[in-house]
Structure 1
Amino acid sequence: MQTPKAILFDLDGTLADTAPDLAAAVNVMRSNRQLAHAPYEHLRPFASAGARGLIGAGFNVTPDAPEYEVMRIEFLNQYASAIAIHSQLFEQIPTLLSGLDALQLPWGIVTNKAMRFTNALVPLLDLKQARCVISGDTTPHAKPHPAPLLEAARQLAIDAQHCWYVGDDLRDIQAAKAAGMLSIAAAWGYCGTTEPQHWEADVVLNTPQELLELVRTRA
C-alpha cells in the first residue's frame, strides 16, 4: 500500500447521501402513473446505479425495454428540478475532507453522474474545494472503464499508481483496479445488492473516519 499523493472519491453514496432526492424523483414518476410510492428502503441500494438502477428498482423496467428511454429522460428531468432538497454529505465526510486538506493531500471527485447534474450539485454540497471533478460524460467512457480516473490523475498531474480511489459500487473498484489505483470500498454507502467484501477491493472501510486514520498512518 503506497503512500497516497491524492485521494479520489465517487460522489453518490461515497461523499454524499443523495438517495433521498433520487428516490423522490422515482416516486414522483410513480405518482404520475397513479402508483403507490416505492419504499425508500427498497430504492436506496440502487442510488449509485443512476437512472438504470432506479428505474429498474422503481418500475422493473430495464434499458432494453421500449419505454426505458422516455422514462430515463423523465427521471433525469425530475431529478434536475429538485436535486438537493434532502441530499447532504455523509456524517464524518466534512471532517475527512478537512483532515485531507490539513495534510495538504489533494482530493477530487470522479462520478458517473452527468456533468449537468454534477456541476449543479457540487457547489450546493460545499464540495467546491475538490481539485478536480470528473463526471460521467467528461471522457468518452464511464466507470468501470478507467478513463475517468486516469483523467482525474492527469488533471492533478499525479501518476495514477499514487492515487487512491474510494467508491461504494463494484464498478468503482473495477475502475480503480483497471487504472492501477488502490481500490477502497466505502461500505458506509449504498453498495447495490452485493456486499463490498465480495468485490475484491484492496481495502474495505466502514466509516470515513477509518479512511482518514488510514491516510494518516501512510502520510
Structure 2
Amino acid sequence: MSLDLTRIKALCFDVDGTLSDTDDLYAQKVERFFPRFLFKDPTHAARRFVMWVEAPGNAMLGYADKLGLDDEMVAVINWISRHRKHSDKKFLLVPGVDEMLKQLQGRYPMAVVSARDEYGTLAFLKQFGLVKYFDAVITGLSAEHTKPYPDPVLLAAQKMNVPAKNCLMIGDTTVDIRAGKSAGTQTVGVLCGFGEEPELKRLGADLILSDTPKLLEVLK
C-alpha cells in the first residue's frame, strides 16, 4: 500500500475516531461485562459494542459486506445518519491532531467530511478551536446522501475547488474508505478509531496509519 503524493492537493478528514477520540474509557468500563471465558478477546468485544452504540451504521456495514448485502445496508446507513438525534456527549481530541492541523494549514485546503449531524460536528470543532483550519465542513445532511456514498466527498472537493481525484480521504472505518474510493480519491485508514487493519485493507485503503497525526510524517 502506498500513496501517490504528487496527486494530493487537498485533505478530507472524518471526525469520529479520526479527529475526535473514540470512547476508550467507555470501552474499558464495559469490558468487564465481556468475561474472558465467554469472549476470546474482551477488549475487542467491548470496542465493537461501543461502535454499535456510537456508530451503528459503521458496525452494520461490516457484517452486511460479509453477507453480500452491503448495497442495501448503505441505504440503511444513510437513513440512520439523517434521522438519529444529535448527542450532547463531551468530545475528546485525538492527541496530536491540533498540532497536525496547524502544520498542514496553508499547505493544503482541508475539509471535514462527517456523517454526524451539523450540531454535533460543529460542537466538536468549536470545543477544540478547530474550525479555523477547515475550508469546508460537510456533515450528514450537507449532500443528498451521506457516507459511504461519494456525495459528501465530492461536495467537499467542490467547495475546496480541487478535483476529487486530487483529494485524500482520511478516516477510521470502512465507511470512510468506501466513500473516498467511490469519489475517486486516495484513502488513508487510521487505527485510532473503530476500524481494524484487515477490514480497512480489504476495502482498499491506500495506506494504514496507527493514528491520524502520523499523516504529518507522510506529507512532510
Corresponding residue SS for 1:165: strand
Residue segments in structure 2 that go unaligned for 5+ positions in a row: 28-44, 61-79
Cα distance in 1 between the residues matched to 2:196 and 2:84: 20
> Following superposition of structure 1 onto structure 2, how do residues 158-169 of structure 1 map, counting pairs within 5 Å?
158-169=162-173
1:12–1:50 Cα change, 3 Å: farther
Question: Equivalent of 2:114, from 111, 114, 120?
Answer: 111
Partner of 1:137: 141
Question: Equivalent of 1:153, from 141, 157, 162?
Answer: 157
Give percent identity, aligned residues only.
28
Give the letter for the 2:111 counterpart.
Answer: G
Partner of 1:44: 50
- CA offsets, 1:59-111, max 9 Å, x none? xxxxxxxxxxxxx8xx955x63x322xx221012112111202x522211001
Give the letter for the 2:185 counterpart.
Answer: M
Give the letter for the 2:163 counterpart.
Answer: D
Corresponding residue SS for 1:113: coil
Give the letter for the 1:83 counterpart.
Answer: K
Deviation at 1:128, TM superposition (A): 0.9
1:92–1:121 Cα change, 3 Å: closer
Give the letter for the 2:23 counterpart.
Answer: A
Partner of 1:181: 185
Is 195-204 or 141-150 further displaced after alignment? 195-204
Question: Equivalent of 2:123, from 114, 120, 125?
Answer: 120
Partner of 2:69: none
Corresponding residue SS for 1:90: coil
- CA offsets, 1:155-178, max 9 Å, x none? 111111111000111011111011
Give the letter for the 1:88 counterpart.
Answer: L
1:76–1:179 Cα change, 3 Å: closer
Corresponding residue SS for 2:144: coil
**Do the aligned residues in 2 keep the contact of 1:164 with 1:183 (CA within 8 Å)?**
yes
Deviation at 1:118, TM superposition (A): 1.7
**Do the aligned residues in 1 keep the contact of 2:148 with 2:179 (CA within 8 Å)?**
yes
Partner of 2:174: 170
Q: Structure 2 length as normaliser, TM-score?
A: 0.70
Deviation at 1:120, TM superposition (A): 2.6
Give the letter for the 1:44 counterpart.
Answer: V
Corresponding residue SS for 2:12: strand
**Do the aligned residues in 1 keep the contact of 2:197 with 2:208 (CA within 8 Å)?**
no
Aligned residues between the structures: 179
Q: Does 2:201 correspond to 1:197? A: yes
Q: Does 2:206 correspond to 1:206? A: no
- CA offsets, 1:176-217, max 9 Å, x none? 01111111111222116964333321111112343111112x
Cα distance in 1 between the residues matched to 2:54 and 2:171: 10
Partner of 1:83: 89
Corresponding residue SS for 1:133: strand
Is 1-10 or 13-22 further displaced after alignment? 13-22
Residue segments in structure 1 that go unaligned for 5+ positions in a row: 24-38, 55-71
Corresponding residue SS for 1:88: coil
